[in-house]
Amino acid sequence: MEAFLRARSPIDLHLHSNVSDGTGSPADVVREAHAAGVRTMSLTDHDTTAGWDEAREECLRLGMTFIPGMEFTSRIEYGSIHILAYLFDPNYAPLVEELKKLQSDRENRLRQMTENVSADYDITWDHVLEQVSASGKSVGRPHLADALVARGIISERSEAFSGILSKDGPYYVSQYALDPLSAVKLIRSAGGVPVMAHPTTKGRVAPMEYIDRLIDAGLGGYEIEHRENMEPGKTILRELCEERGLIITGSSDYHGTGKPNQPGENTTESEMLARIIEQGTGSEPSYPE
């Protein structure tokens, strides 16, 4: 299996740059992952591929393998469901259309939330924009959180998520996204491999009937090794993956200084990456010389 031999370990398939809600540039993220010992990585910014070229170039310069990726937003009634997508075609027209919709709604929704918050706190959309550093930016609550920190209203990003910007708080606005079944199908149509991100952060798993539908739609695997996943969900999902021949990944979900997660804190086995590479037909990994 050629791919198995070419991509060196440790393998971390979930990292964010400031093209979405990480704090470093794509090249910074690659350097930080490299310094942590990571040798194969995927940049998985939310709903955008804008960081790929810069990350790929820096990976190759440092002798690392680059896997094109993205964390795609979908939603069900009670919240958003993140789906990691690997090796898809970034120019597949239906996907490009969907990403445009997601981007424009991300901005409208965050403007609305900012307006809601501004009723009680001294904060404007311009303050939020000051926290948005990269081009091709996927904005979200982290940027509003950073603006609240910059204004001295709270002391750190995570404080916002349990407080002012909480999903159950008075200022929250939900975001448009496809349902997970349609999202999985769209990723597969684009030649990509969909892997459910941090699937058991509450310890539970989705109803088995729904999991069956996700697998029928083309779900390729589960990100089981992730610091926010809890038992007993991890055990249940490991067994499910084994029984159903699904891919298991482990990753850091690094966000720079935006979250405590560190590059390489969870990793993916090379056999599992080899399966992702076998299934992905929309784009190619880039291997160093």
| Binding residues for ligand AMP restricted to 43-102, rule: CB under 6 A | 46, 80
Does residue 142 bind ligand AMP (CB under 6 A)? yes
Residue 281 site contact among ligand AMP, Mn ion, none (CB < 5 to 8 Å, cut-off depends on kind): none
Which of 15, 17, 19, 21 touches ligand AMP by CB under 6 A? 21
Does residue 253 bind Mn ion (CB under 5 A)? yes
Does residue 140 bind ligand AMP (CB under 6 A)? yes
Does residue 157 bind ligand AMP (CB under 6 A)? yes
* CA distance linking residue 51 with residue 45, whole number of Å: 8
Number of residues assigned to the chain: 289
Which of 161, 218, 262, 281 touches ligand AMP by CB under 6 A? 161
For ligand AMP (CB under 6 A), the number of binding residues is 12
Q: Give 22's strand partners.
A: none
Residue 211 φ/ψ, nearest 5 degrees: -60, -40
Does residue 21 bind Mn ion (CB under 5 A)? yes
Which of 31, 185, 259, 275 touches ligand AMP by CB under 6 A? 259
Which of 56, 137, 141, 198 touches ligand AMP by CB under 6 A? 141
- Tokens 């440790």 correspond to 10
* CA distance linking residue 41 with residue 33, whole number of Å: 8
Biggest CA–CA distance in the chain, Å, is 59
How would you class 71 by CB atoms within 10 Å of its CB: exposed for 0-12, middle for 13-18, buried for 19 or more? buried
Tokens encoding 173:
């606005």
How would you class 47 by CB atoms within 10 Å of its CB: exposed for 0-12, middle for 13-18, buried for 19 or more? buried
**DSSP helix/strand/coil, 5:** helix
Does residue 258 bind ligand AMP (CB under 6 A)? yes
Contacts to Mn ion by CB under 5 A: 21, 71, 82, 197, 253
Residues that bind ligand AMP (CB under 6 A): 21, 46, 80, 140-142, 157-158, 161, 255, 258-259
